[in-house]
Amino acid sequence: MILTSLWSGMRVKEIAAVRVCDVRADDGSILREVRLTAEQTKGRRSRTVYFNQKLRDELASYLRIYPPTDNTQPLFWTERSKGWNANTLGQWFFWTYRNAGIVGASSHSGRRTFITTLANKGVGVRVLAALAGHASIAVTQAYIDVNDEMKRSAVELI
């Protein structure tokens, strides 16, 4: 779940709502593009999420280790074989990060890291907004954490 957040920028609500059939093709491979319905997203607007090869490989391994009994079941489920809701998954992220000693992290940290990492690599804010599912680039800009490395790299461009 953490890698899904870090490598796709999905919101915790989307991670909780995504089903096996949303991410897995008929041949069993993991899709490169996942289409989320309006019910699965914030703001009730459908959107496409893109999975890189690293995430597709990890999800394929996950589904081999934890094979689903039903293709329509949630991709991630609890120890009682139930799906998560956004609130309990948000708490899971919070406590997982806290127990790992990562202070101040939340369910949104992976999404923020996804956007900031791509910004550090020169991806434009309009592309970032589209990947994040933001209607406004102003919202996306608020996610981008400026750090010293970004500033060092910027002045080297002159």
Rounded to an integer, what distance in angstroms lies between the CA atom of residue 82 and that of residue 110? Answer: 23
Q: Give the model's pLDDT for residue 39.
A: 95
In a domain? residue 27? yes
Residue 22 lies in a domain: yes
Residue carrying structure tokens 């920028």: 9
Q: Could you tell me if residue 135 is inside a domain? A: no
Confidence band for 3, pLDDT divided at 50, 70 and 90 = very high
Range of the domain at 69: 1-84
Instruction: Give tens-digit pLDDT for 108-140.
Output: 999 999 999 999 888 999 999 999 999 999 999
Q: Is residue 80 part of a domain?
A: yes
The H or E element that residue 66 is part of is: none
Q: What is the pLDDT of residue 81?
A: 66
Which of the given ranges, 70-79, 87-96, 136-145, has the highest pLDDT on average?
A: 87-96
Average per-residue pLDDT in the chain? 93
Domain-embedded: residue 125? no
| pTM of the predicted structure, to 2 decimals | 0.89
Q: How confident is the model at residue 150 (pLDDT cuts 50, 70, 90)?
A: confident
Report, as an integer, the average pLDDT of 34-45. Answer: 93
Q: What percent of the chain has pLDDT over 90?
A: 81
